[in-house]
Amino acid sequence: MDIQDQIFDNVHDQLSRRNFLGQSSVGLGAIALASLLNPSSASATSLFGGTSPGENPAVGKPHFPPKVKRVIYLFQSGAPSQLDLFDYKPKLETMWGQDLPESVRKGQRLTGMTAGQSRFPLAASTFKFAQYGPDRMWMSELLPHTARIAGDLTFIRSMNTEAINHDPAVTFFQTGSQQAGRPSFGSWVSYGLGSDNQNMPAFVVLLSKGRDGDQPLYAKLWSNGFLPSVHQGVVFRSGPDPVYYLNNPPGIDRPSRRRMLDYLTKLHQEQYKQVLDPEINSRMAQYEMAYRMQTSVPETLDISKEPDYIFDMYGPDSRKPGTFAANCLLARKLVEKDVKFVQLYHQGWDQHGNLPNDIRIQAKSVDQASAALVMDLKQRGLLDDTLVIWGGEFGRGPYSQGKLTRENYGRDHHPRAFSVWMAGAGVKKGMVYGQTDDFGYNVVNQPVHVHDFQATVLHLLGVDHEKLTFKSQGRRYRLTDVHGKVVKPLLA
Amino acid sequence: MILLILLDARASQPSEWALFFGHFHPLVVHLPIGFLLVAALLEVGRRLGKLGVEESTITSILFWSAVSATIACVFGYLLSLGGGYEEETLNDHMWQGIGVAVFTWIAWAVKSDWLGNRIPAGSALYLPAFVVALVLLGLAGHLGGSLTHGSDYLTQYTPEPFRTLAGIPPRKTAIAFKPITDVNQAVVYEQIIDPILQSRCVQCHNADKSKGDLRYDTAEMLKKGGEDGPVFIAGKGLESAMVKRCLLPEEDDDHMPPKGKPQLTEGQVALITWWIDQGASFDKKVADLTVNEAVRPVLASLGGGGPIEKGGIAVAGPAPESPVLTMAVPAADQKLIDEVKKTGLLVLPVSKEKNQLEVSAVNARTFSDAQATVLPKISQQIVWLKLSDTKVSDATLAQVAKLKNLQKLHLEQTSVTDAGLKNLKGLAHLEYLNLYGTAITDAGLAELAGIKSLKTVYLWQTKVTETGLMTLKKALPTLEIVGGVTEKTFTELARATPPEGKGDEQKKK
C-alpha cells in the first residue's frame, strides 16, 4: 500500500467522529481538516519505509542493487560552450564566416539576443583540439587537466534539452520541469534512498562564487518541492561557519540546547497528536539533525588536516573558501562521509561575447579541481561507487553572436546538442556516446534527452525512475515526469 | 475509367493509376467477405425460423456482396500487375476470387424480383451457388493471406501436440536466432545482420513473395541480389543498394522498407553499413572486424557479457552481476540484524527484492574488534562491508573470514596489518578490497595473490613497494591496482603539463 494512503488511513482512524467534533469545538479540528485536505504534506518518510517522529528519515531500499552509492554533480551554470571544450568540428573552420545553413537550423527558435541578427556567421573555435586517453577523446587545450583523466571519463555528446534560457533550463535539469515547484534531483534521491550517515543530510548543496554579473542561482533549484521538507538541499559554505544558523547563539551552550530541544520535542509531540500534520515530524527531524550537525559538520568539513599535496592537486584556489576548487575538496570530504547527493553549482559560463578570452579564464577555474576530484576519489577507492557528473544546462551555438573576427566571437544558447561528462561507478569508462552533425548543431546519433539522463542516473543509484513517485495535488509525480529512458549502452 | 485503366494495364509497365487502385484491393476485398457471411448467417437464421428476416433483405445484401466482389476482382488484377507474387498461388487466388463474384451474382440473380422468374429452375440453383461462393470465399481468402504474409504465416505458431497431428514440420529454429551472450564472439551476419533482415525485410522478400525478384530469406539469395543486380558491394556500405534505399527519405518511392511498414532504426542501418564496409563476411565474428564509433554503442546495446577489453574491440553490454548478488540467500533473522545494529553498524538490504545485506560503520567510528564478533551472525547475507576509519584491526579480519559471500570490503584507514590479510584467502567472491592508508607491506600483498576473484585493490598510502606490486600483478594479471604511488609522484601528476594529445595541431594557424 502506498505510504501516503497509510498515513491517510492513520489520520482517519485517529480522527474518529467524536474526536473530530470535540476538537472542532476548540478550533483544532479546523487545522486537522486543513492537513487532511492538503495531501501534499506527508510525513518524514523515505520512499520505502516509515519513521517515528523525531527520527532521521528511514533509510530506503533501492529497487535493484545499486552501482552508485553517491553522486557529485558539478553543475556548470551558464552553459559551457561544448564547441570550444569537447565537440571538435573542423567543418566550422572550412566554413568560417559563412552563414549557418537553414537546412541545419531547421527553424530552431532563438533567444532574444540573436533573433534580431541578420546573419549567423559560423565561428570555429580558436582553441586547439586533440585526442586524449586510450579511447582518443577529443578535448580542447582549455582543459589540460581534464585531458589527463580522459581514460576515466564517459562522454555524452548528444545531450539535448527543451529550454533555451538559463532559468527554465537549469530548473528542467534539476527538477524535470521548466516551471518551478517540483522537487530537485537530490531531494528525490534523499526521499527515495534516505541518508546512510545519520549525522548528515542526504542532499548537500555547495555554491561556488562566480564572477559578477553571472546568471543567478535560486534556492528553488535545491527545493524539496512537494516532498517532505527534510529532503530539501542543505547549503554548505566554505569557512568557519558552513551552515547558516547552525551554531548556537552566543550564551547558549550545548547542554542547554539539548534541554531546549527535549522540551520542544514534547510540545511537538503534543501538537502532532492533535493535528496529525506530518510536517511536524519533518520539523522535529530537522531540529535533531541540526543538533547532530553542530558537531558532525565542522568535523566533516575540517580541511586543516589535509596535506599540502592535496591542496596542490586541487590547485591554488582550493585554499580560498568559496571557490570551485575549495568546494570540490569539500565535496570529496562529504562523500567520504557517505553524503548521498552533493550538488555543486559553478557560475560564469555564459559567454555571449568575448568568448575566447572569457572561457579561457572560466575553464582554468574548474579544470584542475574537476580532474583532481576524480583522481582523489579514485585513489581513495571512492570512484568505485561514486558518480561525478560535469555539465551545464544547455550548449552554445556554432554561429557568432555579435561581430565575428578571427580572434573574437560570442556564442548564444543552444538546446539541441551539447556535451556532459561523467566519471565513476556504473558507466563505461572511455566511452563517447552520441554524435552531432558537422556544425555541432543537431544530434545525428543516439540522442540523450534530459529525462533520459535523469532516468539513467537514478538507474545507477538502483532506482527505477518510473517507480519513484510522490502523489501531490491528485496525481503522482516523478523526476522524469512521464518521460525518460535509461540509456543502457552507457552502463558498465 | 476503370475500363480505361484495365486497357492501359496491358501495356508492359503498369500505370500509376493501375497500381493506385490495385493497392485498394486488400481494403475492398474485406467487403464481400463480410457481406457474404452476414447473408449466410441471416439465411441460416431465417431457415431455422429464429430470425424474422425478409428474403428481400438477404437478396439485397447478396447484391452488394456481388458488386464489391467484382470490384475486388478488378483491383486484385491491377495489384497483381505490380508483380512479385508466386505465380501459381496467384493464379489460383485469382480464379477463386472470380468464382466468388460469379457465384454470388448467380445466387442473387435467381432470387431477384425481375430476373429470378426468368431463370429456369432458378430457385434450385440458389443454395448450391451460395454454398459454392462461400467455399470459394474461404479458399481465396486463405491464398490471399498466403500471398501477403507467406504460406506458413497462419500456422507457424501452432503449438504442440497439434503441430505434429496436423503434419506441420517443426518450427524452423534457425529463425529463433542464437542469443548473443558475448557480443564480441557473435557471428556478425548470423546473429546481428540476419535477425534485422528477418524482422524488417523478409516479409516481402522471401520464397513466396519476392518483390523486385529479391530474397533475403537465406544468405545465398541475399548474395544473388534482385532484378536490379546485387544489393551490396562488399567494402562499400554507403554505395550498396540495400543501404542506400534505407537512407532515402521515407517519402521516396524507392525507400525501403516501404512507407508505413516498420522501419529500420538508425542503429540497424549503421550495423548493416558497417557489416558491408567490413567486407560483408558471412562467417566472421564481431571480434574479427574493426569496430568504429558509429556502431560501438549499438553493438554494446545488443547486450552480452564480458568485460570491456581496453584498447581491443571494446564492445560489451553491462558486465554480468557478481554471483553473490544474483544468488538466492535466505533472509537474515531480524533479531540477528538488530543485534548487529546495536553495535552502531548500519545494515541495509542491497535492494528491495534481495536478502543480501550491506553493512557499514559510517555511523560507528568507534567500532572495534570486540564488537566485530557479531558480524558472522549474518555471514551468509553480508556482501558489502565497510569498516573504514574505525578501530578494527587484524582480530576483526578473523571474523570477516567467515563472511563467505563478501564482494566488497573496505578496510581503509584502519590498523589492519599483513598478518590480518591471511584471513581473506578463503573469500572466493571478493572483488573490491580497499586498503588505502593502512600499514600493509609487500608481505601482505602476497597473501592476496590467491584471491582469484579480486578485481580492484586500493593501496594508496601503504608501505607496498614497486616489487610487491609487480609480484601481485604477475599472479593476478587482470587485477586493477590503484595507488601505490608515493605522495611526491601524486603531486607531480597533478602539476605536470598535459599529456601529449594525438590530434590535428596542423589545423590551426
**Interchain CB distance below 8 Å, B499 and A147:** yes
| Burial group, residue A373, by CB count within 10 angstroms (0-12, 13-18, 19+) | buried
Residue bearing the bigger pLDDT, B452 or B483: B452
Instruction: Write down the residue that cell numbers 497509510 correspond to.
Output: A6
Query: How many CB pairs below 8 A link A and B?
Result: 149
pLDDT tens-digit profile of B227-258? 888 888 888 888 888 888 888 888 888 888 88
Contact A196 B346 (CB under 8 A): yes
Q: Which residues contact A394 (CB under 8 A, 6 or more apart)?
A: A79, A161, A163, A164, A169, A413, A414, A415, A418
Query: Residue written as cell 491464398?
Result: B143
What is residue B190's DSSP assignment? I
Minimum-distance CB partner of A379 among B349, B436, B504: B436
Residues of B in contact with A432 (CB under 8 A): 293
Min Cα separation A206/chain B (Å): 22
- Determine the pLDDT at residue A478: 93
User: Least CA distance to A134: which residue of chain B?
Assistant: B311
Higher pLDDT, B494 or B320: B320
Using a CB–CB cutoff of 8 Å, tell me whether A155 touches chain B: no
Helix (H, G, I), strand (E, B) or coil at B280: coil
State whether A197 and B301 contact (CB < 8 Å).
no
What's the pLDDT score for residue A26? Answer: 45
Angle at B354 between CA B353 and CA B359, to 5 degrees: 130
CB contact under 8 A, A435 and B293: yes
Fold exhibited by the domain A47-490: Alkaline Phosphatase, subunit A (3.40.720)
Q: Could you tell me the CA-to-CA distances from A481 to A40, A167, A180 in Å, in that order?
A: 17, 19, 14
CB of B455 less than 8 A from some CB of A:
no
Q: Give how far B87 is from chain A: nearest CA, Å.
A: 43
For B420-454, the pLDDT digits (tens) are 999 999 999 999 999 999 999 999 999 999 899 99
Question: For residues B39 and A195, what is the distance between their CA atoms, to the nearest angstrom?
Answer: 72
Spatial separation of the C-alpha atoms in residues A130 and B335, rounded to whole Å: 59
Q: What pLDDT is attached to residue B174?
A: 44
Predicted local distance difference test score (pLDDT) of residue B483: 80
Mean pLDDT of B44-62: 87
**How far A150 CA sits from the closest chain B CA (Å)?**
10
C-beta atoms of B318 and A128 within 8 A: no
d(CA B399, CA B387): 12
CB nearest B507 (choices: A59, A93, A431): A93
What pLDDT is recorded for position A414? 96
Name the percent of chain B lying above pLDDT 90: 38
| Contact across the interface for B318 and A491, Cβ inside 8 Å | yes
Q: Is A311 on the interface with B (CB under 8 A)?
A: no
Pick B47 or A58 by higher pLDDT.
Answer: B47
Per-window interface: A 127-146 vs B, CB < 8 A:
128-132, 134-136, 138-139, 141, 144-145
Q: What is the pLDDT confidence band of residue B490, given thresholds at 50, 70 and 90?
A: low
**Mean local confidence (pLDDT), B358-377:** 94
Q: What residue of A is the nearest CA neighbor of B306?
A: A492
For chain B, give percent helix, strand, coil, nearest 5: 50, 5, 45
| C-alpha of B490 from chain center | 46
A368 close contact with B: CB closer than 8 A: yes
The pLDDT of residue B170: 64
Res B56 pLDDT > 70: yes
Whole-number Å distance between alpha carbons of A242 and A244: 7
Output the average pLDDT for chain B. Answer: 83
Paired with B409 in beta bridges are: B385, B433
Residues 6+ apart with CB under 8 A from A454: A176, A185, A465, A479, A480, A484
Report phi then psi at B481, rounded to 5: -105, 115
Whether residue A85 lies within 8 A of chain B, CB to CB, comes out as no
Report, as an integer, the average pLDDT of B102-121.
Answer: 81
The residues of chain A scoring below 50 in pLDDT are 1, 23-59
* A30-81 confidence digits (pLDDT tens): 444 433 333 333 333 333 333 333 333 444 688 989 999 999 999 999 999 9
Per the CB < 8 A criterion, the answer to whether B218 and B207 are in contact is no
Q: Kindly state whether B294 is in contact with chain A, defined as any CB-CB distance less than 8 angstroms.
A: yes
Note whether B310 contacts A430, CB cutoff 8 Å.
yes
Q: Which residues of A touch B434 (CB under 8 A)?
A: 380-381
Tell me the mean pLDDT in the region B452-469.
91
pLDDT classification of B309: cutoffs 50, 70, 90: very low
Min Cα–Cα distance to chain A from B313, Å: 11
Would you give the DSSP letter of residue A26? T
CA distance A367 to A363: 6
Strands B456-458 and B480-482: parallel
Confidence of residue B506 (pLDDT cuts 50, 70, 90): very low
Task: Provide the chain A residues 174-233 that lie in CB contact (below 8 A) with chain B.
Answer: 196-199
Angle between helices B87-111 and B122-149 (to 10 degrees): 150
**pLDDT given at position B289:** 82
A372 touches chain B (CB under 8 A): yes
Instruction: Kindly state the percentage of chain B with pLDDT values over 70.
Output: 86
* Own/partner long-range contacts of B306-314 (Cβ < 8 Å, ≥24 apart): B306/B182, B306/B183, B306/B184, B306/B185, B308/A428, B308/A429, B308/A492, B309/B184, B310/A134, B310/A430, B311/A134, B313/B184, B313/B286, B313/B287, B313/B289, B314/A135, B314/A430
Going A449 to A454 to A459 to A465, the CA torsion angle's sign is negative
Sheet holding A137-140, edge to edge: A137-140, A129-132, B502-503
Q: What is the pLDDT of residue A221?
A: 94
List Cα–Cα distances, B503 to A90, A202, B69, B498, in angstroms. Answer: 12, 43, 70, 14
The overall average pLDDT reported for chain A is 86
Structural domain spans, chain A: 1-37, 47-490
Q: Which residue reads 573552420 in cell numbers?
A: A93
Using an 8 Å CB-CB cutoff, list chain A residues near B353.
Answer: 63-64
Note the pLDDT of residue B81. 84
